[in-house]
Structure 1
């Protein structure tokens, strides 16, 4: 079975290579320049260009040809395909995959992750592991739905700069938040991103996210936890160290946050999912 996903999954290349995952890239526009995520724009380049841009980058779903290319290659590799995508509540990426399936008639199951960044990526890894175990497609989808329902995604926002650029927050409100040292934690709920908590200071905000893990369970030895960061690797490593010490997970994956979620999180943003 061939697993397919899109570039919003933020999976490190080592995992993509290990499981031979096919990636359908999304598109980004920065300062009226067009890029293809992971093809002619790396995450590091994206953060640099985003910081220099006076306007918010725009992301769009993959081109129809990108879906066609992935499905065509997938059909060469396997009789069945499972294509897992960014939340349908955040992007048209999932709908684009569905449309391509209907057009081609390929033997592909299209799955809505109802998540973003490594929230998608961890579901992709789960599917790959189940393929290795020899599970049938219907059983994989059934267990993937259960995993999706249990998944939690929390994002710490260091700054509201991108919210100002995008017109969602006024410059005055951003200045007030800065003066009061306010930090925001958002989460993914039913596929949508919603503000969960406003706290004073980064330390309290990060502690709040750790408390959310504690509220779920004491021992994560059967779970992989994902962390993505917006150009703040040291913060991500510090968060990983604390998670390893407190929760004993199977593993903690650290990677950069891609353009799709990174555009809204902004520099200094941290995402944790499990």
Structure 2
């Protein structure tokens, strides 16, 4: 059985590692003002985009989760014909709809995947598991890297799932940003009070 890994672009792993291990990435659009950048873990494009907006605080900034249809298309086009079992790991569902959208997409492919597998010459059913990583950035990357290590070691799918389930509560990601302006502004827009005004000012001053 061939096992594959799918993550969203919030998973902080080098592109070389992603490409070398055939990890599928769900791109996440980022909008600053009127410009939209689709984050697919391309470091050069990311640097160019952020450099253009590094000191620009006149525009709103936000991310948009990939839709159910976009994730469904990704799975049908790149996962169903390549893998027998796909493990999908997302950012926390408390922070983004990506987990829910990926779950809905996993259900949505059930009626369509067989003909895709037949065309790819793959036999047997396609199985998929969507899990909430409960962490962000490097924390999510740790879970993904361990998943890849287990896959390459030939670990059984049940044991992989158990190992990642055990590791998830102990994987934590921290982000150190030079300016909390956008973090505070977006949190306020979403009603998230975890980043207060005073905290944002103090963090930016450090």
Same fold, TM-score > 0.5, yes or no: yes
Structure 2 CA distance for aligned equivalents of residues 51 and 121 of structure 1: 28
Aligned-pair CA distance for 1:124: 0.9
Report the counterpart of residue 136 of structure 2 in structure 1. 116
| 1:137 matched to 2:142 | no
Residue of structure 2 aligned with 1:54, choices 42, 51, 58: 58
Report the counterpart of residue 72 of structure 2 in structure 1. 68
Aligned-pair CA distance for 1:183: 3.6
Aligned-pair CA distance for 1:128: 0.7
Decide which moves more: 120-129 or 46-55. Answer: 46-55
- Structure 1 unaligned regions, length at least 5: 185-200, 203-274
Report the counterpart of residue 106 of structure 2 in structure 1. 101
- Structure 2 unaligned regions, length at least 5: 111-125, 189-195
Structure 2 CA distance for aligned equivalents of residues 174 and 152 of structure 1: 21
In the superposition, the TM-score normalised over structure 2's length comes to: 0.76
Aligned-pair CA distance for 1:122: 1.5
| 1:151 matched to 2:199 | no
Residue of structure 1 aligned with 2:86, choices 70, 81, 87: 81
After superposition, what is the alpha-carbon deviation per residue over 1:38-97, rounded to whole angstroms, capped at 9, x for unaligned?
A: 389932133222532413311011133431232121111121111111111110111111
SS in 1 for 2:6: strand
Map 1:177-216; keep pairs closer than 5 Å: 177=201, 182-183=202-203
Q: Number of aligned residue pairs: give it.
A: 179
Q: Which has the higher strand share?
A: 1
